[in-house]
Amino acid sequence: MVAEGGVDADTLGRATWTFLHTLAATHPEKPSETEKARITRFMKDFSEVYPCAPCAESFRDIMKRNPVEAHSGSAFSRWMCVAHNEVNRELGKDVFDCAKVADKWGICESCAAHEEELSD
Ligand code: FAD
């Protein structure tokens, strides 16, 4: 019997980049040591468990060449853009202008509204 469901690498990739760039946009501009360590650990763990084994392996190599920069929100957003561009290069895609990353990606507005509702 053929299992139903699942996604292809492109759909998974697009959804994951949306998550990762939004995560980067949410990283504090002045993170505490704990916040820096947590996001750095998260990216390392992410690169171990990303559910596309060859993608994860190549991303671990990218992270070795480009260690996570999480000392500020803008540095982390830029790092994510650079890391994504490394993947783009490997796949023969156009690179993205990282000066425009804040025009493309930001916080999840409706998530922020939901957070306010929860704290009421
Ligand atoms: P995507 O690359 O998914 O990008 C989505 C949107 O992000 C684009 O439309 C663009 O507006 C924007 N964007 C593009 N580049 C940047 C950037 N540098 N910074 C900010 N925004 C940007 N696929 C493979 O076939 N092989 C792999 O080895 C592989 N490795 C991957 C590793 C990771 C960690 C992830 C998350 C995905 C990987 N993928 C891989 C999937 C691949 O990166 C793409 O997601 C997929 O090919 C679909 O590409 P896309 O052209 O729709 O745009």
- pLDDT tens digits, 7-28: 999 999 999 999 999 999 999 9
Tell me what percent of the chain is helix, strand and coil, each rounded to the nearest 5: 70, 0, 30
Tell me the CA–centroid distance for residue 66 and ligand 1, in Å: 17
Cα–Cα distance measured from residue 45 to residue 37, given in angstroms and rounded to the nearest whole number = 12
Centre of ligand 1 to C-alpha 42, Å, is: 19
pLDDT digits (tens, 9 = 90+) for 25-34: 999 999 999 9
- Whose Cα sits closest to atom 35 in ligand 1? 13
Pocket mutation for ligand 1, best pick of 57, 76, 87, 90 (most atoms within 8 Å of C-beta): 87
Going from the first residue of the chain to its last (120 residues), give the mean pLDDT of each consecutive group of 10, the final group possibly shorter. 80 98 97 98 98 97 98 98 98 98 94 70
CA distance 94 to 11: 18
* Chain Cα centroid distance, residue 33: 20
Give residue 119 CA to ligand 1 midpoint distance, Å: 35
Residue 52's pLDDT is what?
96
> Which of these, 58, 9, 120, 18, lies nearest to 26 by C-alpha position?
18
Classify the complex by whether its ipTM is higher than 0.85, answering yes or no. Answer: yes
What is the distance between the alpha carbons of residues 74 and 29, in angstroms, rounded to a whole number? Answer: 7
